[in-house]
């Protein structure tokens, strides 16, 4: 069964495209931050520590949003929580265009992050529950591929809008998803599995959280929390700093945006290959192989000495890292039953977002102390290897298994 077979079913195609577009808007907003901070650093004369703080505030909101939305989606449904989180992040993003100072921008980025962080695990759970076992993993990885489209859109906006019109216009564009939420309200339905579960008495919150850590699921929960932390830590530490790192390596702001756009394009084939391999060889294969190759690419990028090496390493980093993200989003909901699926996925995602809070701050401090880029990227090499081994040693294969 290939990608085209999956897309032939009109109902599944509509769900995948509808959820995928909301995912794309998420990515566009996150991607925009990485380009905006590079411009803000010059306009507002922000040091590395403040750049790290701004990107970490966004991740702090994502951590809170992921936990809250995951818990609420098991109580009130995937669809309603998806719509509310989409509205929250798009309105906060639009209001960021009017921020008069650094403190106000931080508050708005926290609120935007809350919506962003909440939407992602809920959307992946909704798609995962709505697909048959043979297509489930591929469908979620294809959903994740919209993340690359969003980043490409952010890179294009950064390249064509920020240099001429400023970062405020870029943030204003981020308000567009609020209109899309009105369409989404009619376009999608809750998953059949949740609809079936709703007929029974709801599981209390305390019992859901306890079940995630019960002996039956504890091993999977530990593995997922390690996996999410290491992947999010390395991703936000590396990718939110990419435009700034390129400037530190001596490229102009416009040139750095251009190079990051090229690197971002490599995310799409990374997702598509992962979508193919995940149903052919399984979730663990994709995660372990793609994570180890991400680690190697990070070490290569940090030690690149020529423009060509820098580009090649950056392309490999994008390809394998985002392929691993696709595998992680496909794998996470499959490890829990329907009654606690969104709670388990949301808590794992939320814990992972702590890595997204710490990494940009840490990179800001290290850059401020004149620590070399090669040393910083070796830190990410070690972190990603830990995540790969957690999956290898603690993970169980879920390929082809029907969801409980």
Q: What's the pLDDT score for residue 256?
A: 67
pLDDT in tens, 310-340: 889 889 999 999 999 989 999 999 999 988 9
The position carrying tokens 């690149």 is 304
d(Cα 401, Cα 109) in Å, to the nearest integer? 39
266, 155 contact by CB (below 8 A) = no
d(Cα 41, Cα 367) in Å, to the nearest integer? 14
139, 12 contact by CB (below 8 A) = yes
The residues of the chain scoring below 70 in pLDDT are 1-8, 240, 243-244, 249-257, 404
Q: Which two tokens stand for residue 398?
A: 């879920």
Domain 10-184+203-394 sits in CATH at: 1.20.1250.20
27, 236 contact by CB (below 8 A) = no
Contacts of 11 (CB under 8 A, 6+ apart): none
Q: Where are the alpha helices (DSSP H) in 97-216?
A: 102-129, 133-160, 162-165, 167-173, 177-187, 192-197, 205-212
Q: Which two tokens stand for residue 11?
A: 């109902």
Locate the domains of the chain by residue range.
10-184+203-394
What are all long-range contacts of 158-167, with beta carbons under 8 Å and residues at least 24 apart? 158/31, 158/32, 158/35, 158/36, 158/243, 158/257, 158/261, 159/254, 159/257, 159/258, 159/261, 162/35, 162/36, 162/39, 162/257, 163/253, 163/254, 163/257, 166/39, 167/35, 167/36, 167/39, 167/40, 167/43
Q: What's the pLDDT score for residue 88?
A: 92
Listed residue (345, 278, 337) closest to 137, CA to CA = 278
DSSP 403: P
């Amino acid at each position: 069964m290939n990608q085209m077979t999956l897309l032939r079913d009109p109902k599944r195609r509509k769900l995948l495209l509808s959820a995928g577009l909301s995912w794309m808007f998420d990515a566009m907003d996150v991607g925009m931050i990485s380009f905006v901070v590079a411009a803000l650093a010059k306009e507002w004369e922000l040091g590395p520590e403040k750049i790290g703080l701004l990107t970490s505030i966004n991740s702090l909101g994502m951590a809170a949003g992921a936990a809250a939305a995951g818990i609420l989606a098991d109580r009130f449904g995937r669809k309603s929580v998806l719509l509310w989180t989409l509205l929250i992040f798009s309105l906060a993003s639009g209001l960021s265009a009017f921020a008069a100072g650094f403190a106000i921008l931080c508050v708005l980025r926290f609120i935007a992050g809350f919506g962003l962080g909440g939407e992602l695990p809920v959307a992946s759970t909704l798609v995962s529950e709505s697909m048959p076992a043979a297509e489930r993993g591929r469908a979620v990885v294809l959903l994740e591929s919209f993340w690359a489209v969003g980043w490409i859109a952010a890179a294009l906006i950064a390249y064509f809008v920020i240099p001429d019109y400023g970062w405020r216009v870029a943030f204003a564009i981020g308000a567009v998803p609020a209109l899309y939420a009105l369409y989404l309200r009619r376009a999608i339905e809750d998953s059949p599995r949740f609809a079936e579960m709703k007929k029974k008495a709801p599981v209390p919150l305390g019992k859901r959280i306890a079940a995630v850590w019960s002996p039956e699921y504890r091993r999977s929960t530990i593995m997922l929390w390690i996996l999410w932390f290491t992947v999010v830590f390395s991703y936000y530490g590396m990718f939110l700093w990419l435009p700034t790192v390129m400037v530190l390596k001596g490229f102009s702001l416009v040139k750095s945006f251009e190079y990051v756009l090229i690197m971002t394009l490599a995310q799409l084939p990374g997702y598509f290959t992962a979508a193919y391999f995940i149903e052919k060889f399984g979730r663990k294969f994709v995660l372990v192989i793609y994570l180890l190759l991400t680690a190697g690419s990070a070490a290569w990028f940090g030690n690149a000495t020529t423009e060509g090496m820098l580009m090649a390493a950056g392309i490999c980093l994008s390809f394998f890292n985002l392929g691993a993200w696709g595998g992680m989003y496909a794998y996470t909901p499959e490890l829990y039953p329907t009654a606690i699926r969104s709670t388990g996925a949301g808590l794992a995602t939320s814990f992972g977002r702590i890595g997204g809070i710490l990494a940009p701050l840490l990179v800001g401090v290290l850059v401020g102390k004149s620590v070399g880029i090669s040393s910083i990227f070796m830190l990410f090499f070690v972190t990603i290897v830990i995540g790969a081994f957690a999956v290898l040693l603690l993970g169980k294969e879920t390929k082809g298994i029907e969801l409980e």
